[in-house]
Amino acid sequence: MSGWFAPAASSTGVETDHLFWALMAISSAVLALVFGLMALYVVRYRAGSPIDRGALAEKSWIFEIAWTGASLLLFLGLFVWGADLYVRLYQPPGGSLKLNVVGKQWMWKIEHPAGQREINALHIPVDTPVELLMTSEDVIHDFAIPAFRIKHDVLPGRYETIWFQATRTGDFHLFCTQFCGTDHAAMIGWVDVMTQPDYQKWLDAEAPSETLAAAGAALFQRYGCSGCHAGTSTVKAPPLDGLYGSPVPLEDGRTVTADDRYLHDAIIEPSTERVAGFPPVMPSYAGQIREEDLFALIAYLKSPAKEQP
Amino acid sequence: MSEPVNYLTNGWTIRSWLLTHDHKRIALLYLVSITGFFFLGGAAAALIRLNLLTPEGALVSAETYNRLFTMHGIIMVWFFLVPAVPVTLGNFIVPLMIGARDLAFPRLNLLSWYLFMIGGLVALYALFVGGVDTGWTLYTPLSTNYSKGHVVAAVVGIFISGFSSIATGLNFMVTIHRLRAPGMTWFRMPLFLWSLYATSVILVLATPVLAMTLILLSLERLFGIGVFDPALGGDPLLFQHLFWFYSHPAVYIMILPGMGIVTEIVTTFARKKVFGYKFIAWASIAIAVIGFFVWGHHMFVAGQSLYASLVFSILSYLVAVPSAIKVFNWLGTLHKGTIRFDAPMLYALGFIGLFTIGGLTGLFLASLAVDVHVTQTYFVVAHFHYIMVGGMVSAFFGGLHYWWPKITGRIYPEMWGRVAAILIFFGFNLTFFPQFILGYLGMPRRYHSYAPEFQILNILSTAGSTILAAAYLLPLAYLTWSLFWGERASANPWRATGLEWRTASPPPTENFAEIPVVTEEAYEYPPPEVAQHG
């Protein structure tokens, strides 16, 4: 039984627990009041009871205003508490470890920046903020780690972000919690929270031949991107050096920031947010590049000194 | 026997039933139909619970399991919970309560039953012959581009039955506006009518949005017209917004009539005027109105904007206030009453308890950060079953027992009625309370198999569901028995107020020999004819 109510294993999860148990205390009190009054009245005023009913309560609006007002105040307080914590769930602290997650029927694929890849498993260091950039290859999934009190839908065609900071080492469940088809219940895995030295050992043992950015560089060649976008190209295409994070003026007059979302969409559907001053010659890559490869391509575009393959 | 002709004895042919314009007969057609749907949906639930006895899934394959919970959800939501109270008890009682001879549009009423049956049969075909594995929520792009099931057929069935909902809602609104007996002002109406009026507003305004959404879904699935699937340039969150714009108010379609029934029962069996009449009446309207603006609380982890989530959270807390008002007013009605514990009252007291638990756990889900942890788990499953099954189905059974003498002219066996009510209460809690804990521990919903540490709670839940299943079969048996061998009911067996008790049981086809004139407020206890004897 005690394992059932173990405290959360993440920094924000502990706060979620506080709110949860506060709600539990309030609910229990209200429930005791409602059941208590109901039990009291049905016994006291049962038909067989000779008790004097006296005059019926007058001026019912005083009661009405009292319990309406009390409910409102209580609810507003609960709203603020839950909202404050929720807003912070959306604000990752700086310096977090950034990982990529791709959901597909019916597995989780995880990419580490140094190039380690894993399926249905997530190895992370303890006491370190971890930020996940997530997308789906097909239907909507949901990345949920109950021990961390965190979950978020993973949508096709969109990047969604969550973050958490594990506070205990150990193995914790990873579930898909958005129904995604036949083997939904098999889309599960483990989060392995390790000490810093153990984590370093794991990274070294799993070290791949190339980093994610290097894998992206190879894809940049393979898909023919370099034919137009490389510095020596004769075709007029937007230069990509130092692009990540910079403002991009669009043909339609808007300016967007070249973040992950923009780079992803610019590859998949280049005509939608076309860079000002460039002709619409780039073909769409929709359905041609897997999401995990898109993550690699973007990692390459983000790398400060793009390694020329 | 020189018994006067009543609506049941007025014609014995099948034609006199299938082409009837009598709201009372149509109510019975509906009652038989939704009873069938209820037990079909219940059978699917029983198989789901049996399968969850072991972590690896004891009974069926993953694919079958997914079809079963889709079947359970679609049947129970659209072919039992949404129509149940309005089309059966509402259909029967509304004209009697306001002192009218029928609903405003008797033919439309009959048409709505045919639409309901056609829609229901199409949906059953899709679910049983073809199989649908999307869940009742039909999320895109799973439903439009990935599921292999008969999604379009199921959707067509739901679409058709939607017109039945709209017709019923419209009929009730016009009836309540136009056909009230002389002297029956808005604030003299029994509160069941206020709750049905509020329900009708939602039926008429929300159902068309569902219809449009289902059409868009079908267009995308059949013709690849991109609306929701990002691969076709659509937005999957748009589907969720449209779907919940109907489906959240639909929750209030289900629970508001239940609240109305409980108000009638509590005041009758406390033999005391209802406490806070106007507050209960306006609370129904407030729930209907605010209920249209809380749909986004189903999407706190779906990727909608942060600010949208904040707004939907605070509105969700607001919509809980009128529900709380109702609970406190029921307690106020019990205070200093003269309380009897006949079966309808046991169901009503059970409703108040279970609805309160359902409502309080709703506060957990309205709280943004806590929702992140418990949404999409068994916590949500438990929460909405406390509202829908513990609340609405209890109220439906309470109302069915309460008006059974009026509907059939027979008294049901009281002892069996009480046994069933108590069994349902305990069976229900044993089935669904463990699911709150499962959800807190993180067990996701819609899982055919699960982690071993969740097994003990699942076994408890399944054990409870066997009690619940038996308890639901009991009324089917003894109510059917009472049709033939039950004691004859007088016009007013509960000594209640309300015009429906001033005419014979069962009522004549025209309801009242003379249209009654109303001279007092609702729930003036003791009612006049009883006072003469007492």
Per-residue pLDDT tens digits for A53-85? 877 666 678 888 888 899 899 999 999 999 999
- What pLDDT was estimated at residue A134? 97
Q: Are A219 and A293 in contact (CB under 8 A)?
A: yes
A vs B: CB pairs below 8 A: 247
Verify whether the Cβ–Cβ distance A13 to B449 is below 8 Å: no
Shortest Cα–Cα distance, B178 to chain A (Å): 31
Q: Which tokens belong to A147? A: 């021990």
The H or E element spanning position A188 is strand A188-194
Q: Which of A73, A136, A140, A150 to mutate to test the interface with B (most CBs of B within 10 A)?
A: A140
Nearest residue on chain B to A81, judged by CA atoms?
B367
Select from B146, B302, B353 the Cβ nearest to the Cβ of A139: B146
Q: Which of A33, A53, A86 to mutate to test the interface with B (most CBs of B within 10 A)?
A: A86
Q: Are B76 and B43 in contact (CB under 8 A)?
A: no
Select from A46, A85, A160 the Cβ nearest to the Cβ of B339: A46
Residue B178 phi, psi dihedral angles, 5° rounding? -105, -25
Shortest Cα–Cα distance, A210 to chain B (Å): 31
- Percentage of chain B modeled with pLDDT above 90: 95
Identify which of B74, B164, B167, B84 has the alpha carbon closest to the alpha carbon of residue B123.
B74
- List, for chain B, all residue ranges whose pLDDT scores fall below the cut of 50: 1, 530-534
Q: Which of A35, A75, A291 to mutate to test the interface with B (most CBs of B within 10 A)?
A: A75
d(CA B222, CA B152): 8
Q: Which residues of A touch B229 (CB under 8 A)?
A: 156
d(CA A248, CA A85): 33
Verify whether the Cβ–Cβ distance A20 to B364 is below 8 Å: yes
Verify whether the Cβ–Cβ distance B321 to A68 is below 8 Å: yes
- What pLDDT was estimated at residue A3? 67
Identify which of B300, B299, B188, B282 has the alpha carbon closest to the alpha carbon of residue B243.
B299
Q: Which amino acid is at B524?
A: E
pTM: 0.94
Give A107's Cβ-side CA count (13 Å radius). Answer: 8
- What pLDDT was estimated at residue B393? 96
Token pair 């949860």 is found at A20
Select from A54, A83, A89 the Cβ nearest to the Cβ of B310: A83
Sort residue B138 into left (φ over 0), alpha (ψ -120 to 50) or beta. Answer: left
- What pLDDT was estimated at residue A239? 81
Q: Which class in CATH covers the domain with range A212-302? A: mainly alpha
- What pLDDT was estimated at residue A306? 58
- What pLDDT was estimated at residue B391? 95
CB under 8 Å, gap of 24 or more: what pairs does A39-47 form?
Answer: A41/B331, A41/B334, A41/B335, A41/B337, A41/B339, A42/B334, A42/B339, A42/B341, A42/B349, A45/B270, A45/B334, A45/B335, A45/B336, A45/B337, A45/B338, A45/B339, A46/B339, A46/B340, A46/B341, A47/B271, A47/B338, A47/B339, A47/B340
Domains of chain B: 14-533 (1.20.210.10)
Select from B331, B337, B447 the Cβ nearest to the Cβ of A185: B447
- List, for chain A, all residue ranges whose pLDDT scores fall below the cut of 50: 1-2, 307-309
Q: Are B435 and B415 in contact (CB under 8 A)?
A: no
Q: Where are the alpha helices (DSSP H) in B182-293?
A: 191-223, 236-270, 277-290
Q: Which residues contact A79 (CB under 8 A, 6 or more apart)?
A: B313, B314, B317, B366, B367
Sort residue A217 into left (φ over 0), alpha (ψ -120 to 50) or beta. Answer: alpha
CATH number of A97-205: 2.60.40.420
Shortest Cα–Cα distance, B341 to chain A (Å): 8
- What pLDDT was estimated at residue B532? 40
Identify which of B437, B300, B445 has the alpha carbon closest to the alpha carbon of residue A20.
B437
pLDDT in tens, A102-123: 999 999 999 999 999 999 999 9
Identify which of B281, B258, B329 has the alpha carbon closest to the alpha carbon of residue A41.
B329
Verify whether the Cβ–Cβ distance B442 to A144 is below 8 Å: yes
Q: Are B196 and B92 in contact (CB under 8 A)?
A: no
Q: Which of A2, A14, A42 to mutate to test the interface with B (most CBs of B within 10 A)?
A: A42
Verify whether the Cβ–Cβ distance B301 to A152 is below 8 Å: yes
pLDDT in tens, B353-381: 999 999 999 999 999 999 999 999 999 99
Verify whether the Cβ–Cβ distance B445 to A177 is below 8 Å: yes
| Burial class of residue A21 in the structure, from the number of CB atoms within 10 Å of its CB (0-12 exposed, 13-18 middle, 19+ buried) | exposed
- What pLDDT was estimated at residue B431? 97
**Where exactly are the structural domains of chain A?**
8-43+58-89, 97-205, 212-302
